[in-house]
Amino acid sequence: IEANDNFCGAFVWEWFNHGLYAGKAENGKPKYYYGGDYGEDEHDGNFCCDGLVSPELKPMPGLKEHKNIAKPFEVTAKDIENGVFEIKNKYYFSYLSKLEGSWELTRNGDVVASGSIGSLAIPPQKTEQVTLNYSIPADGRCYLRISFASYGNDYIPDGEVVGFTQFELPTEVVSEEKMAFGSVEVAETNRTVTVSSDGFSYTYDKNECTFSSLKVNGKELLNGSMRFNCLRTIDNDRFVYNSWSNAGIPKAKTYEYDTVVEKCDGYVAITSDCCMSANCLSPILNIKVQWTVFADGKIDMHTEVQKGEGLTFEPNKVEIADMPDNNFAKFVHYLPRFGILMEMDKKFDTVEYFGMGPGDSYIDRHNSSYMGKFTNKVAREMVDYIRPQNSGNHWNTCWAYVHSSDGLGLMFSNEVDSFEFSAVPYTPSELFGHKHSFELPESNKTVVSVDYMNSGVGSQSCGPLLKEKYRLNKNRFTFNVTIIPTESHKTYPEDI
């Protein structure tokens, strides 16, 4: 749109979610109906529930995205090391003088410097250069965010931020070598491996190739086994979901081939070869995962993943012929996601993270998000879509911490690469199993997902296929994350 002066666009279609109010449910939640809920044969289901605001005029995530995309200014870094930026006034008829700029520099999510840009009388469609007085830290994950807020506009409250741009600063991210101190005990049966030391006891489930119990000083952190997961439920996936279903993704489980346990000085390494597959279908993914448990309780997960013979990303290689369904590869354009999913008790109701926030974000939908430290209640991470969907995902996460009021909880981190993360009250299967949000039962758990990647959300509910660069369709990839069971608020990774 902006590349062509004679082209206009970005109009909102559509403004409202067009659910029809049908009173209150027994649980007190408002009921909104859509196509098919009145017994009609011809309808488009919940396709009318695609607005930027809810029926009660509450902003949906898409409205916040649109706000920052349509901001009336553009900031370009000309010499970021010396603080030189170019600011363009994107208004066609107004000066930029009723907006006041400010900047904020963070290191590992903490503010280390800030300043004012003030009001700039930039004429319509013109640019002006500014120099910001900051020094770039020597190391750490450092970001500069430039914002403009409104003052003196009749239709915008004073102090309302109308838009922002964030830049990653050129710094070195230093990872510390993990040292192993102390003794670790290990006990193995046909189906489990128990690793323990002072203050913790972890049980490894060979069936799932993940942990089924993480106890810190006798306090349990998990409700059952972690599990590898590829499934999600998002409206825009409706036209690719059938291919995922044919490949067995919604019913995929982990099947172990072999597990080897190695005890060393200061740590225990558990290595499993396994696959993800649905009954009677060939493997979707082949997985080699190594879990290293250190004497201080930290757990390193290193996962090597290879596309199995159960699916192909290349449609011209699908050989249907007369072979039975379980013997040829199912074609999918891409995987929905890949990571580990775990359930915790609902008392673990708070999430803190350093990543893209404060709203949810994806690889192709993060214009309203920025890198920072954020805190939220797990229940508020859930977006109240009329038809339940996945929400609360945070792209480009460096660390996340899910905990109870006393600080007991699980921390996840990666010192080098980012990951994707969410903590919400429901599993993807539970969301998919309900047509309306008011039908969801009260949750008694917190569902944590730590993902290598989520494919982008795209616009395929009525638009083109998701762009190639936003798809999880690699034949091979590795996924690393550190899990830190902890009893205290402390302990952010950069301080360890």
Q: What whole-number distance in Å separates Cα of residue 101 and Cα of residue 120?
A: 8
In our burial notation (b when 16+ CB lie closer than 10 A, e otherwise), range 396-421 reads: bbbbbbbbbeeebbbbbbbbeebbbb
DSSP-assigned letters across all residues of 360-395? --BTTB-TT-EEEEEEEEGGGGS---SS------EE
Q: What whole-number distance in Å separates Cα of residue 396 and Cα of residue 356?
A: 6
pLDDT of residue 178: 64
For 489, counting Cβ atoms within 10 Å of its Cβ (0-12 exposed, 13-18 middle, 19+ buried), the class is: middle
- How many CA atoms lie within 13 Å of 268's alpha carbon, on the beta-carbon side? 23
Per the confidence metrics, is the pTM higher than 0.85? Answer: yes
pLDDT tens per residue, the chain (496 residues)? Answer: 888 888 887 788 889 999 999 999 999 999 999 999 999 999 999 999 999 999 999 999 999 999 999 999 999 999 999 999 999 999 999 999 999 999 999 999 999 999 999 999 999 999 999 999 999 999 999 999 999 999 998 889 999 999 999 999 999 877 666 666 789 999 999 999 999 999 999 999 999 999 999 999 999 999 999 999 999 999 999 889 999 999 999 999 999 999 999 999 999 999 999 999 999 899 999 999 999 999 999 999 999 999 998 889 977 655 544 444 544 578 999 999 999 999 999 999 999 999 999 999 999 999 999 999 999 999 999 999 999 999 999 999 999 999 999 999 999 999 889 999 999 999 999 999 999 999 999 999 999 999 999 999 998 888 889 999 999 999 999 999 999 999 876 655 554 4
